[in-house]
Amino acid sequence: MSSVPVPNPAPASAQPSRWRQYYALTKPRVVQLIVFCAVIGMFLAVPGWPPLVPTLAATAGIWLVAAAAAAFNCLVEQEIDRRMTRTAWRPTAKGELTDRQALVFSALLCGAGAALLLAWVNALTLWLTLATFIGYAVIYTLVLKPNTPQNIVIGGASGAMPPVLGWAAMRGEASADAWLLCLIIFLWTPPHFWALALYRTEDYRKAGLPMLPVTHGPDFTKLHVFLYTLVLFAGTLLPFVSGLSGWFYLASAVVLGALFSGYAFKLWRHYSDELARRTFRFSILYLSLLFAALLVDHYIPR
């Protein structure tokens, strides 16, 4: 009598653990850059070293609320994510986490972050952080992104807020210098995301999202990536003009701005998907180095 072979079950490691699935919802690489810019805002807001406890509490609180916004975004965009190669792996898109699990997770993160900010930082930082949550998770995700090719321009305002949050955490106010830092990220956002959209155009078309390359074509988008890098270049000089930063930052901003504009010019004149991919990746490095230069400059004696 022959036996029927029974297939071996898939190893447990073939599917991410539940904690890894929840962690993926927080979009950790995006949140890391958000928190990094917020921390730079904290350091720039005070003449010396920022106080330890409020700095740690503000960093954790902003991270938690930003992660909550990312998780909520994954929840409401799961149908779109399923249609896009870039996002089809997300746990909500694959059905590995239910809507209720994602919503409860987002609410817990947001609640914990809000409690930290209120108890250990200040009310202004709490309300600004919650406003940023609403701006990204609701206004940008539900209203702007599916309805206008200017989604990333208008919606970029919420993504540009981290240095303002950090500044408010240390000083209890958001001065003009804080908004200068916000302006830099606001101007950086369109060329950063449009470079991505150029080599992911079919993804966005399949998902039915009116990103600029879908609605206005690649040539129009490439030109606007280049033009925005020029405007960004000018915007990054403002901290030096205002006296917020010194010569080290100015030199860094000029070099980095020239490199980013060079990438954008080549993208406009000699497009390839690989060049668009490299431009997108460089844009992340660009912003990180620019804000790192602000931090280093802050502690150089003048």
The 10s digit of each residue's pLDDT in 50-106 is 999 999 999 999 999 999 999 999 999 999 999 999 999 999 999 999 999 999 999
What average pLDDT does this structure show over 188-210?
96
At residue 287, does pLDDT exceed 50? yes
Residue 216 has a pLDDT of: 97
Beta strands in the chain (DSSP E): none
Give the dihedral of Cα atoms 158, 132, 78, 146; nearest 10 deg: -40
Q: What is the DSSP letter of 27?
A: -
d(CA 40, CA 38): 5
* Confidence band for 302, pLDDT divided at 50, 70 and 90: confident
The tokens describing 137, both together, are: 């998770």
Residue 219 has a pLDDT of: 98
Q: Please state, rounded to an integer, the average pLDDT across all residues of the chain.
A: 94
What amino acid occupies position 149? P
The tokens describing 40, both together, are: 């730079």
The tokens describing 18, both together, are: 């539940």
The 10s digit of each residue's pLDDT in 100-158 is 999 999 999 999 999 999 999 999 999 999 999 999 999 999 999 999 999 999 989 99
Residue 16 has a pLDDT of: 74
CA angle in degrees (0–180, nearest 5) for 146-148-149: 110
The 10s digit of each residue's pLDDT in 221-242 is 999 999 999 999 999 999 999 9
Residue 5 has a pLDDT of: 42
Using N-to-C axis directions, what is the helix angle for 273-298 and 28-44, rounded to 10°? 30
What's the burial of 95, exposed, middle or buried (CB within 10 Å: 0-12/13-18/19+)?
exposed
At residue 256, does pLDDT exceed 80? yes
What amino acid occupies position 284? I
